[in-house]
Structure 1
Amino acid sequence: MNPAWSYLLTAVGVLGLYLAGRQQRLGWAVGLGAQGLWLAYALATRQYGFLVSAICYGAVYAKNFRRWRPAPPLQRNESP
């Protein structure tokens, strides 16, 4: 297996978390897409334990993607 897989999986996963941390819904979609890469990796390397983790992580990413709402804007407390 080409070692580039490790870098690709890491880069995509970190990008998804970075975007989600910046309150961008796209982050959850990127993380969900990364699970497709993990599925491919698990099958290509015959490391089937990664299938379970990809399914579990995928479920969490999908749930967060569906439920994500932007944070309400902060309101200033104006004194009279």
Structure 2
Amino acid sequence: MNPTWSYLLTLVGATGLLVAGRAQRAGWLIGFLAQGLWAAYAVATKQPGFLISAFIYAYVYALNYRAWTTKQPALTSEKSDT
């Protein structure tokens, strides 16, 4: 398999985290869309573990995107003071 995959997956994932870390909800969307690349990688390399992780990560990215978009509280173990 061409090593370009690993560079592309790393670049897209790191970009999503960087954007999310700068308090921009688009970062979560980038991460969510990156899971399509992970799913393609999983199928191309016949590694079902990556496919399972892509679905799990997509779910978490979707939850975080929704929290940022609708002002929902993020998943956290801390209790709110309000």
1:52 is aligned to 2:35: no
Which aligned pairs between 1:11-50 and structure 2 lie closer than 5 A? 11-50=11-50
Runs of 4+ in 1 over 4 A off after TM superposition: none
Q: How many residues are aligned here?
A: 70
TM-score (norm 2): 0.82
User: Which residues of structure 2 form unaligned runs of 5+?
Assistant: 72-82
User: Which residues of structure 1 form unaligned runs of 5+?
Assistant: 71-80
Structure showing greater relative contact order (alpha-carbon pairs closer than 8 Å, 6 or more residues apart): 1
The whole-number CA distance in structure 2 between the counterparts of 1:20 and 1:31 is 9
Whichever residue aligns with residue 13 of structure 1, its letter is: G
Question: Higher Cα Rg: structure 1 or 2?
Answer: 1
Identity within the alignment, %:
63
The whole-number CA distance in structure 1 between the counterparts of 2:36 and 2:23 is 23
TM-score (norm 1): 0.84
